[in-house]
Chain A
């Protein structure tokens, strides 16, 4: 069966015309055999005109006009040869390692995981490699932690492996507190066994017999599926005593997090598992030396652990062939914001932001231009659009004032206000600061006050250096990563968009129309056509008048929702 797929990637809905033309040409050429011509909704190609893909050959053409069709039908469909000039060379840029099974296997059935190569990596580590060889393999893979810090996994495991201790522990960090991120939830829900296999592998190599899944309680489906996976693994003898006859024994438990951001930080998380209040403590000592109940503990992120089975089943060398010089393998991002295809993407390290946004994400959602990309959530920062061609890896993002983080990626356009964005994250940090150390507890509140006064047009220009000073102090003096990274959204927006801050301060203007206190809605009488649309759409009846005399907005009643601004077809509403 030949499939001829068709899509107008500019969204002008030209498919039907082309479909007819192709069918007519095929008839004319008397094309034999079985085939279907199908209009698809998404071909993974964007803004490249009308595109056609022919399967099984895989010929792909873009920018087609109706005049191209006869030659295309004759050459590619009838004779099965590629047609040179309109050929589209790009391939799918996603590489699925972590998400290899997500959406494919039944996460509630261990058989489904086993049938797609599950537990083969563990088998190799338990029965075929010496532990030193396995650590070497891990080192060769170049795998680094995906929870934010990017610490080399082999090193962390080696640290925990060294000390003699009757008890050691493995913890899977599934707290995922970054607002807007849901990679780890999806992996736990879609492929729980891969994470469990990663934990078992870690357990064997560091000499731990007990593991904990730490999952936030807001993820009930993830918890159920992990629970189910644990029970099935136990029934299959993959948990318990003498696993696969190797002499290695391992058990796991699940601990629920109550949803505090700070509990994703490793020392606070450990306190929480111990049943204490989720307060961080100073490092060193690092958990790999002195962790849960004072014992050597490896704590790794969900995504990190889901990579482990592949490192061993396909080999460290293969793994390290993907990625950039300093970062190997892939990263999963939760791509959201003003982007057409919001969702999870898994890309090789070293891909550019531009490729993620335009070739995978399908480009901008609305007609506004892109302004920046936010990565790393409240601990990260914004990267302005001039840097879209930067290859994504830990070091590059850090140089630009952001971080790789756990994988939140929010696309920001011209309708977003950078002061408002910084304020959003600072509000989050003020709420989530655990209060143990003063720099974070007091500093985040102070930064929020400055941001708030900027957004209300009440700040002075010399407040900005003060804001920066507080930010630097919080960065340096805070006890844990939450405080240390909380100034990033402020500092990075100041770095790239200081003029927006100054506009708020000097002109009392928010160009994106987000800072409500600076907005003043009024009707431009000479533009107004007296259609009454705004009058009918105001939720609080702040607009009075009629279609003879025209309309006015009563300032005292206006709640600045912006409805009138959005509905007016004649640009007769000003919000300046």
Chain B
């Protein structure tokens, strides 16, 4: 890896945060998320994405704070605000991919937060 220089760091600073196109799926994988079963959910999401041949960034993230609703999965896709799903299990993970990521259809009864600003 090349060392970071001042100008390169400046570029990072200027980069527009909006990265259009590619869907992003964040999985909360800190100690408490993992204890609640986030690893299994992460694998299920990864598996579903691979199986369906989708271009989706499934990302391991840290604690979002809503520990009472873990495992947590946040979806940013299709121009929609960031949607945080809670108490996700393997089955719900598949629904998240098939309904939300592919069809832009939000799932009833599992959303614990919607963030318009943090679409990235």
A104 within 8 A of B: yes
The listed residue with most A CB atoms (<10 A of its CB), out of B26, B31, B62, B118, is: B62
Judge if B9 is at the interface, Cβ distance under 8 Å: yes
- Contact A42:B112 (CB < 8 A) given known A36-B105, A99-B65, A343-B66: yes
Q: Are A103 and B13 in contact (CB under 8 A)?
A: no
Contact present for B65 and A344 (CB under 8 Å):
yes
* Contact indicator A41/B12 (Cβ below 8 Å): no
In the complex, what's the smallest C-beta–C-beta distance from B74 to chain A, in angstroms? 7
Q: How far is the CA of A58 from the CA of B116 in the complex (A)?
A: 9
Instruction: Annotate A228-242 by CB proximity to B: 1 below 8 A, 0 otherwise.
Output: 000000011110000
Q: B1 an interface residue at 8 Å Cβ cutoff?
A: yes
User: B18 to chain A: closest CB distance in Å?
Assistant: 11
Given A5-B111, A189-B30: A245 and B6 interface contact (C-beta under 8 Å)? yes
Greatest chain B CB density within 10 A among A102, A117, A118, A238 is at A102
Query: Does A414 have its Cβ within 8 Å of any Cβ on chain B?
Result: no
Q: B41 on the interface (CB 8 Å rule)?
A: no
What's the interface size class on B, roughly?
35 or more
Contact with B along A396-418 (1 / 0, CB 8 A): 00000000000000000000000
A290 to chain B, nearest CB (A): 35
Docked-complex contact B106 and A38, CB < 8 angstroms: yes
The answer to whether B13 touches A117 (Cβ under 8 A) is yes
Closest to A235 in B: B1
Nearest CB of B to A92, in Å: 9
With A1-B104, A116-B17 known as contacts, the answer to whether A189 contacts B63 (CB < 8 A) is yes
Question: Given A44-B113, A237-B3 in contact, is the A108-B60 Cβ separation under 8 Å?
Answer: yes
State how many angstroms separate the Cβ of B82 from the closest Cβ of chain A: 9
Chain B residues within an 8 Å CB radius of A56: 81, 116
In the assembled complex, A250 has its CB within 8 A of some CB on chain B: no
A331, B114: Cα distance in complex, Å: 23
Distance of A464 Cα from B80 Cα, bound (Å): 61
A102 touches which of B10, B17, B64, B104 (Cβ 8 Å): B64
Of A119-127, A203-211, A268-276, the one with at least 4 CB within 8 A of chain B: A119-127
**Chain A, residue nearest B120 (CB):** A104
Cβ of B86: which chain A residues have Cβ within 8 Å of it?
41-42
Q: In chain B between 27 and 54, which residues have their CB closer than 8 angstroms to a CB of chain A?
A: 28, 30-32, 34
Residues of B within 8 A of A42 (CB): 66, 69, 86, 111-113
Check if B63 sits within 8 Å of A3, measured CB to CB. no
Instruction: Tally A-B pairs: CB < 8 A.
Output: 148
**B65, A40: Cβ atoms closer than 8 Å:** no
Q: List A contacts of B6 (CB < 8 A).
A: 123, 127, 244-245
B14 to chain A, nearest CB (A): 10
> Contact mask B98-120 → A, CB, 8 Å, 1/0?
00000011111111111010101
Residue B15 is within 8 A (CB to CB) of chain A in the complex = yes
Binary flags per residue of A73-116, CB closer than 8 Å to B gives 1, else 0: 00000000000000000000010000101111111100010111
A190 within 8 A of B: yes
Residue A393, interface by CB 8 Å: no
Q: Which of B58-84 contact A (CB under 8 A)?
A: 59-69, 72, 74, 79-81
A119, B114: Cα distance in complex, Å: 28
Q: Which chain A residue shows the least CB distance to B11? A: A114
Given contacts A56-B116, A237-B3, contact A107 B106 (CB under 8 A): no
Chain A CB within 8 A of B20 CB: no
Please give me the residue from chain A that is nearest to B1 by CB atom: A235
What is the CB-to-nearest-CB distance from B4 to chain A, in angstroms, rounded to a whole number? 5
A1-B80, A42-B111, A342-B68 in contact; A190/B9 too (CB < 8 A)?
Answer: no
Q: Please report the C-alpha to C-alpha distance between residue A239 and residue B46 in the assembled complex, in whole angstroms.
A: 33
What residue of chain B has the Cβ atom nearest to residue A339's Cβ? Answer: B68
Which residues on the A side are within 8 Å of B120 (C-beta)? 104, 116
Contact between B31 and A103 (Cβ–Cβ < 8 Å)? no
Cα(A318)–Cα(B81), bound, Å: 27
Cβ of A446: which chain B residues have Cβ within 8 Å of it?
none
With A and B bound together, what is the CA distance between A106 and B63 in angstroms?
11
A58, B86: Cα distance in complex, Å = 22
Partner of A41, one of B9, B104, B111: B111
CA distance A345 to B106 in the complex (A): 26
Mask: chain A, 1-43; 1 = CB below 8 Å from B; 0 = not: 1010100000000010000000000000000000010111110
A190 touches B68 (CB 8 A): no
Q: Are B72 and A5 in contact (CB under 8 A)?
A: no
Among B10, B31, B112, B113: residue with most chain A CB under 10 A: B31
Other A-B contacts than A41-B109, A42-B111, A235-B1, 12 sampled, CB-CB below 8 A, are A3-B106, A5-B114, A38-B106, A40-B112, A41-B112, A42-B113, A116-B120, A120-B9, A186-B63, A189-B30, A238-B4, A345-B65
Q: Report, nearest first, the 5 A-B pairs whose CB atoms are least far apart.
A: A190-B62, A103-B64, A237-B3, A343-B67, A344-B65
- 13 interchain pairs (CB within 8 A)? A1-B79, A40-B114, A41-B69, A41-B109, A42-B113, A104-B64, A107-B62, A186-B62, A189-B63, A343-B66, A343-B67, A343-B69, A344-B63
User: B-side interface residues toward A, CB under 8 Å?
Assistant: 1, 3-6, 9-10, 12-13, 15, 17, 26, 28, 30-32, 34, 59-69, 72, 74, 79-81, 86-87, 104-114, 116, 118, 120
